[in-house]
Structure 1
């Protein structure tokens, strides 16, 4: 990948990694992970698009967190990367999908593709877990924090159906893996990102002002609220379309199998309609 540096509105540096050729698309990663976790997706999309990866705040390739971050900060950082790369399309996964959709209300984007977007529509999903999660993170209780969040956000997963003590034991085992250790390193970035999503709960009509073409995708094996929210937004956004991807779970964007990548490559690689943007 080719690396370059964008400059944020407040003077910070944002490392941008680029691969491929064709229409430009900026990838917005999910919560608790980073741009490095999307290299498979970038390589697959690179056959049709020029793909740009960057870290959201609090990761090694972006400015550190100082506690003042807002949705406007997220959107401004994305705007800096878009200006730096010349891209007019974004792909957002989970919490990155929330940023992508908020950006669609403020930036002149041509296309937005999201997968399992982490947003709240009419109180769906519940964020009743948030205070307990925030407290556990602040106390350094990593296994408790991750167990509390996972059981609330992914209630369909097998671990969510176990007694809490058994679920936390499984989480502790996960934390000893390389992926688990990386997640712990980034865990402090998660509470403020989740809180911003919770604070922007509202009706699907909040997103009616998006003028870009929007592909709202959810996995058939993901929590059902992802598909429900995608359908609601597709009905509210003039250029919105909702799809459910068979056999895909929440981390399908990181695995990036061909069947997952294909609908996004087709959408982001197609000619842009005259009314987009």
Structure 2
């Protein structure tokens, strides 16, 4: 397996540079990472797919080696950058995680040249299935510079399945102060205002699933069996209106499963992307069924 990373600087539509990190051999797959993190969290996934695919990672605007983000944030720059990378790499496969899933789905709805789109815990608001009532309080704390408090509020609002989310706020804040001393905690803390901007945009797109009915790509809507309970019905609602979509519940997985890249999830993604034409959700009978659902064992 080729694990030698290549780094290329790709001119963006606005004249900035997108730094593209690639590994592997085979059909191209572009990963659109989630909010609050950088591509470092996805290198394990890339390496584990690299024996079958050329996996492309890039930091979205305002993170690590990426250019500054345009303000006010509306997500258009994210879509433009993905369009640039699709054209540059020739890849037609995309993985979107969390907030990156929202960006990737918007890109597919714009009919960007995406043939197959795998979304894991996509942060898409459908009929208010995932509550964002916590957003104003988190924003107020972040604006006041109280990042531990803001992080505690966000964590409880997003990870409703976690036992930590049911602890008193003061205890959650204490836990976040410790977490912020770690490398990943510092990154998430620094990016929290950015994450809240993205969350507010996602909330503005709340509505019926039919707004995504024009997505023509083959879509795999995946979530973890151990994750928040709002993702399975959200994915089911999206799959019910997209003509070539199916859902997948991944056992023994929660929101960070894509970062941890367990083999059963990696193999499910590879199966989806490698299915012969006409054997995937776009039509025909196969183990990947249109608008169906199965568990990965």
Q: Same fold (TM over 0.5)?
A: yes
The residue matched to 2:139 in structure 1 has which SS?
Answer: helix
Shift of the alpha carbon at 1:71? 2.5
Equivalent residue, structure 2, for 1:100: 104
Contact 1:9 1:80 in 2 (8 A): yes
Q: Equivalent residue for 1:16?
A: 20
Is 1:123 aligned to residue 142 of structure 2?
Answer: no
Alpha-carbon shift at residue 69 of structure 1 (Å): 2.9
Structure 1 segments of 4+ aligned residues over 6 angstroms from their partners: none
What secondary structure does 1:224 align onto? coil
Q: Is the 8 A contact 1:129 1:152 kept in 2?
A: yes
Q: Deviations over 1:112-169 (max 9, x none)?
A: 0010111100112111111111222222211011100111111111110111111111
Moved more, 104-113 or 267-276: 267-276
CA distance in 1, matches of 2:119, 2:51: 19
Match of 2:228 in 1: 223
Measure the CA separation in 2 of the matches of 1:141 and 1:271: 51
The alignment's C-alpha RMSD in Å is 1.4
Q: Paired residues, what number?
A: 276
Instruction: Establish whether residue 72 from structure 1 lines up as the match of residue 70 from structure 2.
Output: no
Q: Which has the higher contact order (CA 8 A, sep 6+)?
A: 1
Equivalent position of 2:243 in the other structure = 238
Partners of 2:155 and 2:197 in 1: how far apart? 16
Larger fraction in helix: 1
The answer to whether the 8 Å contact 1:211/1:239 transfers is: yes
Normalised by the size of structure 1, how large is the TM-score? 0.96
Structure 1 unaligned runs (5+)?
none
- For residues 168 and 121 of structure 1, what CA distance do their matches in structure 2 show? 30
Q: Deviations over 1:217-250 (max 9, x none)?
A: 0100110111111111111100000010011010
**Are 1:49 and 1:268, in contact at CA under 8 Å, matched by a contact in 2?**
no
CA distance in 2, matches of 1:262, 1:3: 26
TM-score (norm 2): 0.90
**Cα contact 2:225–2:250 (8 A) shared by 1:** yes
